[in-house]
């Protein structure tokens, strides 16, 4: 029996994004929508959503539960020893175990393309939600408790951001100090040249592509935090919004795959509000439970 | 072996709504989101979407295919002889076979609550898409070719509309001539009194609830034709839009179920644009087919 070389992970984690019950359905719907492929999907056990029990520990919401779930995900990956990993999240923190494993497997040479409206390099000083620290953790920054779980840190030269509209002062400091490259939504609007050049210049031969769907323009793709129809206009104005279109994002991924070996893809932060609200209604209908 | 008394039908029909490939995924997603219940879902075979082969016959888009699919749905229902039917559509025409069967089974006494932004009583003179004629067909009006397939017509006194914002001149004529009752979105905003009164006055003891999701306000629920993010603002302004909220619709259904026996629920016209666009992107990603 030949073992599948690609592992598909479903990780409906919500705790890293804070008090938001939309994540689990979003993760499951992503997996349902994706092509079926030839490898089975393994689900990482996640503590179910329960608003009443949410705790903040050492500045981080649900830190100990997140550490347990990180360990479970790591254990599943080690058991399978895959060459490639697909991740259906869940909040962005779901990427930590897969990227950490792949970077170790590929001797610290893993490239990471971070398609996201946010660089995820904050620390517990600025923020309370671990999903905004995950790339920092993988670089040896971020949250020291989580960074300590990464045996081989990412090489900053092998990390590039795509689709960041702008960054905060703290994020800018980290990006500049580590010399992390980036391509703005404007630069990626018509072509993917800057990313292809980075792959060639840094000789990225194994690439993980992280996608936080919030890199997309929320008026064109509404399954995002910022497009919650029950929040009044302006509610999320203080948070940076993505500006890319789905065809632009698709083209970037395809152009990238044409010039390097993609060994991982993670898709995160899917919040299908209409599906959630529709499901809530159907759950209250007569006859449907017959 | 006891036969299940409730039949669940998945009918991913798109031809009745015209040239729109969003229907099949919408139907399947509805079924996926709904509570699982105890009866298996039977899928009615539907000719797959193919833009290049769409034909207009006797004024109606894809009339002969729609007649074949109506017959297949009728055959499945007759084979199962259910007491109650759940329908996951698909365009509104998916309701014809289930309602026709149930009205015959219940001796012409079936009540029908039609929650929709449109009364679906047009004829081939005004329109080319059969989904806008289905209630007409069931009343012996609509499209004569489809009306001829209904052995026992609905009693107009046992039909009520909920959520119609307004109607066209032709629709108004049919509604007035047949004396069909209606409750506007405004009347249903705070309570369901008018529908509960109709159920009591007309002694509706078996009720089918039809839901065209376009009865909802498309700014609050975006999985609707009118909320296609790729259409420019104003594109659908000439069509009447729904105005209800999900909690209002849920409450109407629950209030109704509290005073009569719900023997059928149909949910139709689900167009999950974000899911469709996301799926298109995932289908083009590297690694996901491994």
What does the pLDDT read at residue B1?
38
Residue spans per domain, chain A: 6-282
- Cα–chain-centroid distance for residue A208? 11
Fold of A6-282: 3.40.800
Q: What is the pTM of this model?
A: 0.96
- As a whole number of angstroms, the distance between CA B179 and CA B131 comes to 22
What does the pLDDT read at residue B147?
98
Q: Which residues pair with B183 in a beta bridge?
A: B162
Tokens for B54, please give them.
């769409």
Q: What is the pLDDT of residues A129-153, one digit of tens each?
A: 999 999 999 999 999 999 999 999 9
- B30 contacts A257? CB cut-off 8 A: no
Q: Name chain B contacts of A263, Cβ cutoff 8 Å.
A: 287
- B33 contacts A279? CB cut-off 8 A: yes
Contact criterion met (CB below 8 Å) for A121 and A161: no
Q: Summarize the confidence of residues A233-247 as an average pLDDT.
A: 92
Per the prediction, chain A carries an average pLDDT of 95
Residue A94 burial (10 A CB sphere; 0-12, 13-18, 19+): buried
Is residue B228 predicted with pLDDT exceeding 60? yes
Q: Where are the alpha helices (DSSP H) in A3-116?
A: 22-33, 63-80, 96-105
Q: Which residues pair with A89 in a beta bridge?
A: A11
- B288 contacts A34? CB cut-off 8 A: yes
Q: Summarize the confidence of residues A27-37 as an average pLDDT.
A: 96
Strands (E), B172-219: 181-183, 206-212
Is residue B2 predicted with pLDDT exceeding 50? no
Number of Cβ pairs closer than 8 Å across A and B? Answer: 143
Q: How far is A245 from chain B (nearest CA, A)?
A: 10
Contact criterion met (CB below 8 Å) for B166 and B182: no
What does the pLDDT read at residue B39?
87
Q: Name chain B contacts of A231, Cβ cutoff 8 Å.
A: none
Q: What is the pLDDT of residues B10-23, one digit of tens each?
A: 999 999 998 788 99
Half-sphere exposure of A233 (CA within 13 A, CB side): 2
Q: What is the pLDDT of residues A160-212, one digit of tens each?
A: 999 999 999 999 999 999 999 999 999 999 999 999 999 999 999 999 999 99
Contact criterion met (CB below 8 Å) for B136 and B120: yes
Residues 6+ apart with CB under 8 A from A15: A46, A47, A54, A61, A62, A65, A66, A69, A91, A130
What does the pLDDT read at residue B256?
98
Is residue A39 predicted with pLDDT exceeding 90? no
Q: What is the pLDDT of residues B47-104, one digit of tens each?
A: 998 888 888 999 999 999 999 999 999 999 999 999 999 999 999 999 999 999 999 9
Q: Name chain B contacts of A219, Cβ cutoff 8 Å.
A: 229
- B229 contacts A278? CB cut-off 8 A: no
Select from A6, A284, A288 the Cβ nearest to the Cβ of B287.
Answer: A6
Is residue B247 predicted with pLDDT exceeding 50? yes
What does the pLDDT read at residue A233?
84
User: Cα–Cα–Cα angle for A157, A159, A163, nearest 5°?
Assistant: 130
Q: What is the pLDDT of residues B174-191, one digit of tens each?
A: 999 999 999 999 999 999
A89: left (phi > 0), else alpha (psi -120 to 50), else beta? beta
Residues 6+ apart with CB under 8 A from A195: A113, A160, A162, A183, A188, A252, A255, A256
What does the pLDDT read at residue B50?
86
What does the pLDDT read at residue B40?
86
- B278 contacts A275? CB cut-off 8 A: no
pLDDT band, residue A50 (cuts 50/70/90): confident
- B286 contacts A86? CB cut-off 8 A: no
Select from A38, A280, A287 the Cβ nearest to the Cβ of B262.
Answer: A287
What does the pLDDT read at residue B4?
64
What does the pLDDT read at residue A1?
37
- As a whole number of angstroms, the distance between CA B100 and CA B276 comes to 32
Q: Summarize the confidence of residues A42-61 as an average pLDDT.
A: 92
Q: What is the pLDDT of residues B192-215, one digit of tens each?
A: 999 999 999 999 999 999 999 999
Q: What is the pLDDT of residues A106-135, one digit of tens each?
A: 999 999 999 999 999 999 999 999 999 999
Per the prediction, chain B carries an average pLDDT of 95
Residues 6+ apart with CB under 8 A from A284: B250, B253, B254
- B34 contacts A282? CB cut-off 8 A: yes
Q: Name chain B contacts of A278, Cβ cutoff 8 Å.
A: 30, 33, 213, 221, 223, 246, 270
Select from B5, B267, B286 the Cβ nearest to the Cβ of A257.
Answer: B286
A35: left (phi > 0), else alpha (psi -120 to 50), else beta? beta
ipTM above 0.90 for this complex: yes
Q: What is the pLDDT of residues A82-109, one digit of tens each?
A: 999 999 999 999 999 999 999 999 999 9
């Amino acid at each position: 029996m030949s073992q599948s070389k690609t592992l598909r992970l479903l990780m409906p984690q919500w705790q890293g994004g804070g008090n938001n019950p939309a994540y689990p359905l979003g993760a499951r719907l992503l997996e349902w929508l994706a092509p079926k492929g030839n490898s089975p999907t393994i689900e990482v056990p996640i503590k179910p959503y329960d608003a009443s029990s949410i705790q903040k520990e050492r500045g981080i919401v649900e830190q100990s539960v997140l550490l347990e779930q990180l360990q479970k995900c790591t254990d599943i990956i080690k058991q399978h020893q895959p060459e490639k990993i697909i991740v259906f999240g869940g909040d962005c923190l779901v990427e930590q175990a897969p990227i950490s494993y792949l970077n170790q497997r590929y001797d610290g040479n893993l490239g990471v393309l971070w398609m996201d409206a946010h660089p995820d390099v904050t620390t517990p000083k600025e923020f309370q939600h671990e999903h905004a620290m995950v790339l920092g953790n993988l670089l040896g920054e971020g949250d020291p408790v989580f960074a300590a779980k990464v045996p081989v840190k990412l090489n900053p030269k092998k990390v590039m951001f795509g689709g960041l509209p702008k960054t905060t002062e703290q994020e800018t400091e980290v990006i500049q100090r580590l010399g992390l490259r980036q391509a703005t939504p404007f630069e990626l609007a018509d072509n993917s040249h800057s990313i292809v050049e980075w792959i060639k210049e840094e000789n990225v031969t194994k690439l993980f592509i992280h996608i936080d769907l919030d890199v997309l323009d929320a008026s064109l793709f509404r399954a995002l935090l910022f497009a919650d129809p029950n929040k009044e206009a302006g509610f999320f104005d203080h948070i940076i919004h993505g500006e890319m279109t789905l065809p632009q994002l698709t083209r970037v991924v395809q152009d990238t795959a044409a010039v390097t070996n993609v060994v991982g893809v993670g898709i995160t932060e899917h919040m299908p509000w209409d599906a959630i609200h529709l499901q809530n209604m159907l759950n209250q209908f007569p006859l449907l439970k017959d």
